[in-house]
A and B are shown apart, each in its own frame.
Chain A
Amino acid sequence: MKREVKNKMKLSFISRSENEGLSRIAVSAFLSSAGADAGVIAQLKTAVSEGVTNAIVHGYRGITGIVTLECTIYENGLIRTVIRDKGTGIEDIEKAMEPLYTTAPEEERAGLGFAIMKSFCDRIRVRSVPGKGTTVTLDKYIAENG
């Protein structure tokens, strides 16, 4: 069965840290206008903040690039959020996703971003090519009980 798109948005911004707040506001506003549960919005907002921060902090470390955030709501209640950067990419995705693993401990990073995205979403997929960039796809259902 083909999934029908109910609503969709796309946001691109340069990798400046003040845009982390922008990405959260955009996702919250988009989801609340679609009638998503408050709890779902809060969790997805946090997951998006993690993904976008990673793109800015790790993906575009020392350089400026474009981060894109795409959010699609399907008729069946699925919310698919895609965060994309064309930065450094990840050498070992499995390792990067381990809780507490970080390549930036001196910046007081906890290594918990992926763990938070995982626990706040129903599904996460990470595609990454070193030197090409990273795409993180977060799936979550609009209502708490699916």
Chain B
Amino acid sequence: MIPITEYDSERKILTALLQGEIDHHCAGEIRRCIDIAIDKYSPELLALDFSGVTFMDSSGIGLVMGRYKLMKETGGETIVLNPRDDIRKLMELASLGRLTKIAYTAHSAAKASSGRKVP
């Protein structure tokens, strides 16, 4: 499903609320959508909020890694927020934690990412 993107211009944080299942079939569309927003706002931090993601496979890992690389090109950082347990396990299997922080927030992704606490 197409993510909802929000930009906090004060703190230069772009949040993408990902939803539903992330597989090869929909990864391309999600990628395009996020990349358009990155291009438009040039954020310093990209927050990928996984609260609404119910399934993910290696295509989702590729998606996160790809956005991490893109953000890195302009010195920006990427953070993963609120993945479910099984999705977090998959991320750990892929050692995604080495590239991006994985954090949990109470509600609003944009609000909590300012704290950027890793549990």
Contacts and interface: CB of A to CB of B under 8 A. Distances in A.
A68 B57 CA distance: 20
28 contacts: A17-B24, A17-B25, A20-B23, A21-B21, A24-B21, A24-B55, A45-B55, A46-B55, A46-B57, A46-B90, A50-B57, A50-B58, A53-B23, A53-B24, A53-B59, A56-B24, A57-B24, A107-B62, A108-B31, A108-B63, A109-B62, A110-B58, A110-B62, A112-B58, A112-B93, A115-B93, A116-B57, A119-B93
A139 to B, nearest CB: 19
Contacts, number: 58
Nearest to A48: B57
A39 B89 CA distance: 12
A46 B58 CA distance: 9
Contact of B90 (A17, A21, A56, A116): A116
Interface string B33-70: 00000000000000000000001011101110110000
A24 B94 CA distance: 21
A49 B59 CA distance: 10
Q: How large is the interface on A (under 10, 10 to 19, 20 to 34, 35 or more residues)?
A: 20 to 34
A54 to B, nearest CB: 9
B86 A21 contact: no
A119 B23 CA distance: 18
Looking at chain A's contact residues, is the secondary structure mostly helix, strand, loop, or mixed?
Answer: helix
A113 interface: yes
Chain B interface bracket (under 10, 10 to 19, 20 to 34, 35 or more): 10 to 19
3 closest A-B pairs by CB? A17-B25, A108-B62, A108-B66
Nearest to A112: B58
Contact of B57 (A39, A49, A107, A108): A49
Interface of A: 17-18, 20-21, 24, 39, 42, 45-46, 49-50, 53, 56-57, 107-110, 112-113, 115-116, 119
Nearest to A116: B58
A21 B27 contact: no
